[in-house]
Amino acid sequence: MTSTDARTAADVPSTGGALTTDELKADLTLDQLRQLVGLVEYDEEGDVFPVTGWDAIVFVVGNATQAAHYYQAAWGMELVAYSGPENGNRDHKSFVLRSGSIRFVLNGAVDPDSPLADHHRRHGDGVVDIALEVPDVDRCIAQARRAGARVVREPEDVTDEHGTVRIASIATYGETVHTLVDRSRYSGPYLPGYVAKRSTYEKREGQPRRIFQALDHVVGNVELGHMDEWVDFYNRVMGFVNMAEFIGDDIATDYSALMSKVVANGNHRVKFPLNEPAVAKKRSQIDEYLEFYRGPGAQHLAVATGDIIASVDALRANGVEFLSTPDSYYEDPELRARIGEVRVPIEELQKRGILVDRDEDGYLLQIFTRPLGDRPTVFFELIERHGSLGFGKGNFKALFEAIEREQELRGNL
Ligand SMILES: [Fe+2]
């Protein structure tokens, strides 16, 4: 038994769920994770579609070779596995990167006739698969089928010298899928077909060990009038619970509006806010996304950090650009009164454009990047939670105004 195995048995309490293998590998404790992503206790007995946690976020990009470098150099991620022409995959290159407990997979076409090339021409860089680790793939697929979901890949065993994974996929909004993976009988670096790979990239001195530790939530944008359909999909198919909803004045500026509802799995490890545009004077950011992504898709990934100040400083030094927040946001006496004391002086947040929100459970700090690719579609959020299980409702207006300033510059408002 390795020391990690010993810790698994000792550290996992009888309630609140165990740590996933990926979380253990990332040296995270249950308490840390509870704070980072707002885990809650729940009754696993009644769960019709048990989910262990995130498995991977799979992207299609225009140039996976360079994107892999970007996520290492800018976001401090670590290259762990690879598949490509050198090991028999003549269709595309695929780089697997990790930060803490989360894994990103970056796929780019090598063969000009690859379906990935067509996908990229239509959608640009984006998320094609929000893969989840589940303890029982067949049980989940049976439940999904019963509830009317489209099964994209039937359950199958895939095997190599590291063992066997059980894998299947179901369709969600747009061309996005949820692959369901049971890797309990597998010890390889990612999936069969991948080889372990280490980077030649060396971190600069003074860089934090990790810029983010876990994935908090993935937001989906869907068309006008379809949000409730997808909320219902996650309730019915995956047994997800409703967490919060934001409608009307919560998230309207003078020009544009959207509606948002949040669903989550029982322990809240996996959280999916779902947005749809609302009718307003001008085009909302959701309309802009739907136009440039050519349909529904994943809008932003919120990554969790225990020290947003250090993370933002490292990211800025690495050239990552964030949406700006006007000084008036920090000078607003109403905001100051509402947020009360947070762990850092407000001037430190203001210097970096970090937003703060408080609810009955605690507070959170958050900041949003500009779109990561060429199209105004996918972006990231950094989030540092201190008890709050929310999504920064108090900041929606400031955030949307910041996005609108940029939409205007792009000629898309
Ligand atoms: Fe978010």
Residue 65 alpha carbon to ligand 1 centre in Å: 28
pLDDT band of residue 45 (cuts 50, 70, 90) is: confident
Does the pLDDT at position 15 exceed 50? no
**Paired residues of 259 in beta bridges:** 276
* Contact status, residue 248 vs residue 18, Cβ threshold 8 Å: no
Largest CA distance in the chain: 63
Residue 285 alpha carbon to ligand 1 centre in Å: 14
At 2 the pLDDT is 36
Residue 11 alpha carbon to ligand 1 centre in Å: 30
Residue 371 alpha carbon to ligand 1 centre in Å: 14
pLDDT band of residue 257 (cuts 50, 70, 90) is: confident
For 53-196, CATH gives 3.10.180.10
Listed in order, the ranges of the chain carrying CATH 3.10.180.10 are 53-196, 214-410
* Contact status, residue 322 vs residue 353, Cβ threshold 8 Å: yes
* CA R_g for the chain: 21
Who wins on pLDDT, 202 or 249? 202
Terminal-residue alpha carbon distance, the chain: 59
Residue 379 alpha carbon to ligand 1 centre in Å: 10
Paired tokens of 361: 């459970």
Residue 192 alpha carbon to ligand 1 centre in Å: 33
Residue 228 alpha carbon to ligand 1 centre in Å: 19
Q: What is the pLDDT of residues 347-366, one digit of tens each?
A: 999 999 999 999 889 999 99
Four-CA torsion 237, 238, 243, 249, nearest 10 degrees: -40
For 214-410, CATH gives 3.10.180.10
Spatial separation of the C-alpha atoms in residues 245 and 239, rounded to whole Å:
17
Residue 397 alpha carbon to ligand 1 centre in Å: 13
Q: Which of helix, strand or coil describes residue 133? A: strand
Residue 366 alpha carbon to ligand 1 centre in Å: 9
Q: Nearest Cα to 184, choosing from 377, 347, 79, 55?
A: 55
Who wins on pLDDT, 320 or 411? 320
Query: What rounded mean pLDDT belongs to the chain?
Result: 91
Q: Which of helix, strand or coil describes residue 114? A: coil
Q: What is the pLDDT of residues 91-118, one digit of tens each?
A: 999 999 999 999 999 999 999 999 999 9
CB neighbour burial string for 222-246, b if at least 16 within 10 angstroms, e if fewer? bbeeebeebbebbebbbbbeebbeb
Q: Nearest Cα to 296, choosing from 264, 278, 274?
A: 274
Residue 301 alpha carbon to ligand 1 centre in Å: 7
Q: Is 368 left (phi over 0), alpha (psi -120 to 50) or beta?
A: beta
Residue 295 alpha carbon to ligand 1 centre in Å: 20
Residue 202 alpha carbon to ligand 1 centre in Å: 31
